A = this chain, B = another copy of it.
């Protein structure tokens, strides 16, 4: 098979030509035209052997937590140390709002001007599954182009944190230093995804940050995610979720943050979980897309479209058991398909 036009430029030397090729490749991946999709799949298969050699860092936190400031400070910190940094986003709300995060590159002005960084706003293709798929694919393209740190950001709409954790080697949750009663912004289940909780803006109120750190550490222990340092059953080979403070605005604590990330990576690579997690994520991604495709075909099938509304109404009215309804609709779908 001849290599596609973009392939050589993407895996080639860094520079303006590579940047253009990356942008065009991602645009191709985001296209909904069937012929584009076919070309995109072929290109993706070519690029794949060149991808994967990066650390994938998922970062989320509510608006106001200082995510952009943190990512910009971290990006500049990493670039100074010889890394190439790609910043991607999963924001399922962007199809409505026209891009609520990373739509405006001036948000990370210094980082976006540096040629060792590549910043791409969230795709705006509708469903979370669709948006996440495009971001996962864009991640592979950036890796093939030699970016060795890929940061995936989410503003936390719908299930986007789970989607981002599912494409990250390490998932970081940013928090503000006002723990306890006011921390109701943490969504159900998100705390349990975190490998590392970072209390940002710790410089504003040191006492509050310290209280928040203690409270979060205690909750992580209660949730079984973090062991007490002197706990005898502590397993040295298993990563335990950590909590730390820093100030992204003052660029204070980035060295400690990066030390924790590096420790995590070394531990995971040493115990085999780094590669195993990626394989699990790949299989989960494949099955998620299969399930989404099956559901799409099912919902669009004439026999299902004809029956679904009425069946749903009967279920909601308590006249049809949900399992019976499912069996009826499946029989109609496969009857239709087998016909």
Measured CB to CB, the residues of A under 8 A from B are 37, 41, 44-45, 48-49, 51-52, 133, 136-137, 140, 179-181, 183-189, 191-192, 215-216, 218-219, 221-225, 227-228, 231, 279, 282-283, 285-287, 289-291, 293-295, 297-298, 312, 315-316, 318-327, 329-330, 333-334, 337-338
Contact = CB atoms under 8 A, between A and B. Distances in A.
A312 B326 CA distance: 29
Given A192-B189, A324-B45, A290 B285 contact: no
Given A297-B334, A312-B283, A334-B297, A186 B323 contact: no
Given A219-B222, A294-B333, 13 more contacts: A41-B327, A49-B319, A52-B318, A136-B322, A183-B221, A189-B192, A219-B219, A219-B223, A285-B323, A290-B298, A290-B330, A294-B294, A334-B337
Nearest to A181: B228
B222 A327 contact: no
Given A181-B231, A330-B294, A337-B338, A320 B224 contact: no
Given A48-B320, A218-B215, A227 B181 contact: yes
A183 B282 contact: no
Q: Nearest 10 A-B pairs (CB), nearest first?
A: A289-B326, A286-B322, A184-B224, A285-B322, A337-B337, A294-B294, A219-B219, A293-B330, A188-B192, A41-B324
As for how many copies of this chain the complex holds, the number is 2
A318 B49 contact: yes
Given A290-B330, A327-B41, A191 B322 contact: no
